[in-house]
């Protein structure tokens, strides 16, 4: 549980470092789960497994593989201490109605793991999102600038969502990068395995490439408070065109009719609000 000073620091800076959020034993178990899920590339056909920073084709070794909703493929992840403790802290920061709104697993392979560009999480929100989130990021091994620890711009959460584009302005890539932002005052946050950072969805953040000899694994959980008052009613221009290989697989897995009906339901809810 956070102290009042820690809560105030989070809202002043837009991020917070938590020295430890789960046990070393749980970290060891999670490493085994990670290695199996990523080796099997579970969720590839549905678009849940994809390369965040590369072309995301079967022929190309992924440089920043990610897995959305890993607990869908490994239900035991729903019962880990990281999830329980993160939810308790999220409710301290956001209120008692905070709930899990997304989760994803990330892997940066040894020596070739790509940089995660500077971005704001809210830039990924699709139209009709009705929450603002905070994200817990937990490494499964010690992290520093050599293998890609998190870096933040303090106070950036107080500003607007800045202009983004696909990485290298390449519409085939899934990841986003901010442009025109001053990131000269970055704060690096090295952590032990099982430590965590938590940041606001508008906080500018980044993680460097993995230049080490071992994998850099990280697990993220996002929590938000759903609201009738807040709804993203217009699509961000950088999200309006879905052309990445991951998007195409997800669309094909969902099917045109289900995708159309989902859009109608979201539109109706937005109008009612």
By the 8 A CB rule, do 20 and 194 touch?
yes
158: closest CA among 15, 18, 16, 3? 15
**Rounded Cα–Cα distance for residues 246 and 133 (Å):** 23
By the 8 A CB rule, do 207 and 135 touch?
no
- What does the pLDDT profile of the chain (273 residues) look like in tens digits? 899 999 999 999 999 999 999 999 999 999 999 999 999 999 999 999 999 999 888 888 899 999 999 999 999 999 999 999 999 999 999 999 999 999 999 999 999 999 999 999 999 998 888 898 999 999 999 999 999 999 999 999 999 999 999 999 998 899 999 998 999 999 999 999 999 999 999 999 999 999 999 999 999 999 999 987 667 778 999 998 778 889 888 888 877 555 545 554 555 555 445
Dihedral pair phi/psi, residue 250, rounded to 5°: -65, -40
By the 8 A CB rule, do 209 and 148 touch?
yes
Query: Residue 172's pLDDT is what?
Result: 86
Query: Residue 57's pLDDT is what?
Result: 85
Query: Residue 153's pLDDT is what?
Result: 98
Alpha carbon distance, N-terminus to C-terminus of the chain:
34
Angle at 259 between CA 254 and CA 263, to 5 degrees: 150
Query: Residue 229's pLDDT is what?
Result: 65
**Rounded Cα–Cα distance for residues 247 and 6 (Å):** 38
């Amino acid at each position: 549980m956070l102290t009042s000073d820690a809560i105030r620091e989070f809202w002043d800076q837009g991020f917070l470092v938590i020295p430890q959020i789960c046990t070393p034993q749980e970290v060891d178990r999670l490493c085994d789960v990670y290695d199996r899920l990523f080796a099997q590339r579970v969720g590839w056909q549905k678009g849940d497994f994809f390369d965040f920073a590369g072309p995301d084709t079967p022929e190309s070794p992924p440089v920043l593989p990610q897995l959305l909703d890993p607990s869908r493929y490994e239900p035991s992840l729903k019962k880990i201490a990281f999830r329980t403790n993160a939810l308790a802290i999220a409710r301290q920061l956001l209120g008692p109605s905070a709930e899990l709104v997304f989760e994803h697993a990330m892997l940066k392979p040894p020596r070739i793991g790509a940089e995660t560009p500077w971005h704001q999480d809210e830039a990924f929100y699709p139209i009709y999102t009705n929450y603002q989130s905070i994200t817990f990021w937990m490494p499964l091994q010690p992290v520093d600038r050599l293998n890609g620890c998190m870096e933040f711009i303090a106070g950036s959460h107080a500003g607007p969502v800045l202009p983004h584009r696909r990485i290298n302005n390449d519409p085939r890539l899934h990841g986003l990068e901010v442009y025109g932002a001053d990131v000269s005052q970055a704060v690096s946050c090295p952590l032990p395995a099982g430590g965590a950072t938590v940041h606001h969805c508008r906080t500018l953040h980044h993680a460097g490439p993995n230049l080490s000899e071992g994998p850099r694994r990280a697990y993220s959980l996002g929590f938000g408070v759903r609201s009738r008052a807040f709804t993203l009613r217009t699509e961000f221009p950088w999200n309006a065109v879905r052309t990445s290989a991951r998007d195409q697989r997800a669309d094909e897995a969902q099917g045109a009719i289900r995708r159309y009906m989902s859009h109608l339901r979201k539109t109706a809810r937005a109008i009612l609000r």
